[in-house]
Amino acid sequence: MNRRDFIKATGLGAMAVANTRLASGAPSLAEIAALDDESPKPINTKVKVKPVFGYRGHKGAYGGPCRWESLSSMAPDKERAANKSWCDRFLKSVKNSLPNEAVMLEPAVIELKRSWLEYPKADMISPEDWKKIEAGLPDVDLFLTAYRVPGIERYKVPLATVGRGPSHLDMAAFPRNTGVESHLLFDWGDLKRLVRLMQIRKAIRQSKILSVTDRPGSPPCCGLSCASPELIKQQVGIDYKYVSYKEFFAEMDRVVQDKTEQEKVKKITDAVINNAAKVHMKKEFIKNDVDFYLAVRNTMKKYGCSAFTIECFELCGSKISAERRFVPCLAHALLKDQGYVGSCEGDTNALLSNIFSICTAKRSVYMGNPTYSGGNRLQILHDAASLKMKGLDQPDSPYEIRYFTAEGWGTTIRYKFEEDKGQVVTLSRANPVVKNRLLLTKATIVGGGGFDSTGCSLRVHLELPNAKEFFYKQADFGQHLTMVYGDYTKDLRQVADLMGFETVEVC
């Protein structure tokens, strides 16, 4: 009997199917679930950097309060040659120093006129040169300068200057005096770090939340501390779209009835089964969860969304989940493994910290309910494991498929956290309700549990620097925690600072 016939024929009681792992180099589950959809994702966005090289220009050689060299050395032709050499070095350094997260726009090379009285309002830059600076707006994310460019702050675009001299201090300070973001970069390594942080911020702000609910504007009953999507939009700049159960499940019905969509469902369902080490449930029930996943992806694409959440308690109370025999768990895993973001139970605060962590670490995240276990131990529990927690560009982690309900339906991914003992992780939770804040700490995996259980039972056991204090601090933030593999406390602290978030860190 072949594998598929075995799955079809076997009853629920003996449904552990050994894996026939895909050949090396075969597509990952996330790649198959993406269905060749090349829609842009915020996580892949680029920072558009426009270098602006300003230099002092003189019409002749003469001495003065800032000109003390010999007249021959100050001749205009020599000054132009020196400025060109400086400009060439600057632009070469910019090009060589920008990381992959950036795109270099056409540079603007401008002259600061000493005969400034010929321009309106004592401007030192000609109208022609201002047009060079304006080329590419409003797509410019960062103006990068080597010298003063008086007036550039008018565009309200973040500015950065690279250098260690007095003019660089002035260039960083004067935009700040007018409320414009500016950065003093000590060296070209600082430019790399700034661009990466700005890429994360841009990815976060480009995110858009799909919230499937019949209670728009109200927090989920199991997350009363959650911010509304509208508040998140106002505080953070992340847009959102509410979709009713009626509209969403009409799309799920279309997926179930459409032949082309069902071909996609079959492809993904087969991949879920074939890539698993073991499968403990019937294929027909796995298919239900893939139907739900594809309805989510279609609706996200329709409204240009990159993040998704749906309530659990309210969905359960509607009986729609029982009637259709699915749970959202698999959909969240498949989304996160592609660089999208999912959050359980309509928890928008956790969704926000999930967005922060995925955009920062370029890794899928785990999330769940924390329980203080005594000493410096904390456990996090949720069926929210995924396969790219060690990197979106890394091979899938090994997993098994197990049903959520005692009736045998509801697909969940099971991962053995205990095999990662000693792994450092970062825990976080955002709360933008009163003011923008991010709770943060580092932890170490010391065990796991719930791998062979049904229900929402998968868990990871953690050792924290001060678990009790962290638990007390979390009372200001709400229940679910985001967990990402690796120590990203410094990175998230810097991202939070750039986003205007106060960091509450427990060390």
Looking up residue 156, the CATH number of its domain turns out to be 3.40.50
Strands (E), 166-298: 182-185, 208-212, 239-243, 278-279
Phi-psi region of 410 (alpha: psi -120 to 50; beta: other; left: phi over 0): left
Judge whether 39 lies within some domain. no
Structural domain that includes position 48: 44-199
pLDDT in tens, 162-182: 988 888 898 899 899 999 999
Residue 441 exposed, middle or buried by CB count within 10 Å (0-12, 13-18, 19+): buried
Judge whether 343 lies within some domain. yes
Residue 54 has pLDDT above 90, yes or no: no
Where is the domain boundary, 161, 177, 199? 199
Judge whether 277 lies within some domain. yes
Question: What band does 17 get if pLDDT is binned at 50, 70 and 90?
Answer: very low
- In this structure, what DSSP letter does residue 136 have? T
pLDDT in tens, 85-115: 889 999 999 999 999 999 999 999 988 776 5
* Residue 451: closest CA among 381, 395, 394: 381
Query: Is the domain of 51 the same as that of 97?
Result: yes
**CA 271 – CA 413 distance, rounded (Å):** 13
Residue 41 has pLDDT above 60, yes or no: yes
Query: Is the domain of 30 the same as that of 48?
Result: no
Parallel/antiparallel/unpaired status of strands 437-449 and 502-506: parallel
Query: Is the domain of 350 the same as that of 456?
Result: yes
Residue 135 has pLDDT above 80, yes or no: yes
pLDDT of residue 21: 44
Amino acid, single-letter form, for residue 33: A
Query: Is the domain of 302 the same as that of 333?
Result: yes
Where is the domain boundary, 150, 177, 199? 199
